């Protein structure tokens, strides 16, 4: 494994990075902007989950971080 943190977490390290193509990232971001819907209205993620992913978890330390995102 190339990510030591992921290795010590049995392969489940959130800091491993993002590996994708630009086209797939564009699809993913359109889905996020549309609160979980993509294409002809197919639901990939519940709107509540998108809200949860993008809600700031703390206002301390002057951070804008959410669950996995920097808003």
| pLDDT tens-digit series, residues 1-16 | 456 666 777 766 665 5
**Is 1 contained in some domain?**
no
Name the nearest CA neighbour of 55 among 46, 47, 64: 64
Provide the pLDDT for residue 46: 93
SS3 71: coil
**Is 9 contained in some domain?**
no
The domain containing residue 58 runs over which residues? 21-71
For the whole model, what pTM was predicted?
0.59
Q: What percent of the chain has pLDDT over 90?
A: 21
Higher pLDDT, 48 or 9: 48
Provide the pLDDT for residue 52: 85
Structural domain total, the chain: 1
Over residues 9-35, the mean pLDDT reads 79
**Is 61 contained in some domain?**
yes
Question: Computed over its alpha carbons, how large is the radius of gyration of the chain?
Answer: 15
């Amino acid at each position: 494994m190339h990510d030591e943190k992921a290795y010590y977490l049995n392969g489940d390290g959130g800091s491993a990075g993002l590996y994708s193509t630009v086209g797939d990232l564009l699809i993913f971001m359109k889905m996020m902007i549309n609160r979980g819907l993509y294409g002809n209205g197919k639901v990939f993620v519940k709107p509540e989950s998108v809200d949860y992913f993008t809600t700031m978890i703390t206002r301390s330390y002057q951070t804008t971080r959410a669950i996995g995102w920097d808003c």
